[in-house]
Amino acid sequence: MENKVKELCDAASSAINAVTDLKALDDIRVKFLGKKGEMTTLVKVMNELSADEKPRVGKIINDARNQIKTLIDDKKAELKAQELQNKLASEKIDVTLPGRKIYRGHLHPLTLTLNRVKEIFMNMGYSVEEGPEVETDYFNFEALNLPKDHPARDMQDSFYITEEILLRTQTSPVQARTMQKNSDNAPIRMIAPGRVYRRDDYDASHSPMFTQVEGLVVDEGITFADLKGTLDFFCKKIFGDTAQIRLRPSFFPFTEPSTEVDVSCMMCHGTDEHCKVCHGSGWLEILGAGMVHPDVLSMSGYDPSKVSGFAFGMGIERIAMLTYGIDDLRYFFENDIRFLQQF
């Protein structure tokens, strides 16, 4: 009997030694110590022994069981430690490798410029109005004193959708929309930013889609001096205190008199005949403006004998090009990250 126990002990011990994974170890546990395991079967054989032999052999078997159990527990701990080591080794990361840079997005240069323009006018008490990009012929032309056969319609080659509907060629229709919305003929001080569309070829200074900001002020006693003062103030805010403006006579069907406004060159201040920005002239055209035509006021329900107004319209791309020193309009629309990252 003792020999049998020793044999089993040795067999268990060498099997445990040889085992390399937890599953196989558990199989060994079941084989020797389980309910039908070999050690358990030995206990049953004990019944055949004499009463005085039973305690001695019982102790031997118990000791052997305990011994095997200890061996299994130790092996189990060893295998678990091994498993952890393997896991750590296979999941090892090199903490000295530089991390991947996360790029933060930011506002587009046109949005930055537009926000700046809006802020300047909002600080002067202007409201911000909006109008649709798909506009009616009536608001885009007719309500602005450009009847159907008016030759000035040729000035802006338009994207027509139907005979009566087109992509707006300017933000000026928002002038008429705002006046007509004010059924009580309240005074107006508003700007209207937005996209406009013209059938232009796409090159360094033209794009079939660009951004304008319209301005309209209507009240009693508004004069050309108010227009000039407002635009002078705006230019000094956006281009710096040394900026000056110059007004040239011009023509727009919806303003009378009309003017084109130049700002003094912020690159060379008129001192460099080879200046890339103003080409030596010292002046840069930045917007169109004028006193609202009496017919435009009356068509939208305001009485030109009681109120007067001024209006202006500027291109945001142009202002962004001047403030950031950009010489090609297309950069704004091509989403080249090397360009956009600079703002």
Angle between the 54-90 and 38-45 helix axes, to the nearest 10 degrees?
Answer: 170
Q: For ligand PHE, give the closer residue by CB, 22 or 152.
A: 152
Q: Least distance (Å) from ligand PHE to the CB of residue 317? A: 13
Q: For ligand PHE, give the closer residue by CB, 141 or 312.
A: 312
Residues that bind ligand PHE (CB under 6 A): 170, 172, 214, 252, 255, 288-290, 311-313
3-state secondary structure string, 259-325? Answer: EEEEEECCCCCCCCCCCCCCCCCCEEEEEEEEEECHHHHHHCCCCCCCCEEEEEEEEHHHHHHHHHC
Q: Which residues contact 134 (CB under 8 A, 6 or more apart)?
A: 161, 165, 166, 167, 168
Q: For ligand PHE, give the closer residue by CB, 70 or 298.
A: 298
Q: Least distance (Å) from ligand PHE to the CB of residue 328? A: 21
Q: Least distance (Å) from ligand PHE to the CB of residue 337? A: 31
Q: Least distance (Å) from ligand PHE to the CB of residue 212? A: 6
Q: For ligand PHE, give the closer residue by CB, 109 or 288.
A: 288
Cα Rg of the chain, angstroms: 44
Identity at 190, one-letter amino acid code = M
Q: Least distance (Å) from ligand PHE to the CB of residue 248? A: 13
Cβ of 220: how many Cβ atoms within 10 Å?
8
Strand duo 188-197 + 127-128: pairing? parallel
Rounded to an integer, what distance in angstroms lies between the CA atom of residue 315 and that of residue 196? 10
Q: For ligand PHE, give the closer residue by CB, 113 or 258.
A: 258
Q: For ligand PHE, give the closer residue by CB, 113 or 169.
A: 169
Q: For ligand PHE, give the closer residue by CB, 278 or 286.
A: 286
Q: Least distance (Å) from ligand PHE to the CB of residue 342? A: 29
Q: Which residues pair with 284 in a beta bridge?
A: 263
The answer to whether 313 and 191 are in contact (CB under 8 A) is: no
Residue holding tokens 């268990």? 12
Q: For ligand PHE, give the closer residue by CB, 37 or 288.
A: 288
Q: Which residues contact 44 (CB under 8 A, 6 or more apart)?
A: none
The answer to whether 61 and 25 are in contact (CB under 8 A) is: no
Residue holding tokens 């885009």? 140
Determine the residue with CB nearest ligand PHE: 313
Q: Least distance (Å) from ligand PHE to the CB of residue 238? A: 17
Q: Least distance (Å) from ligand PHE to the CB of residue 259? A: 8
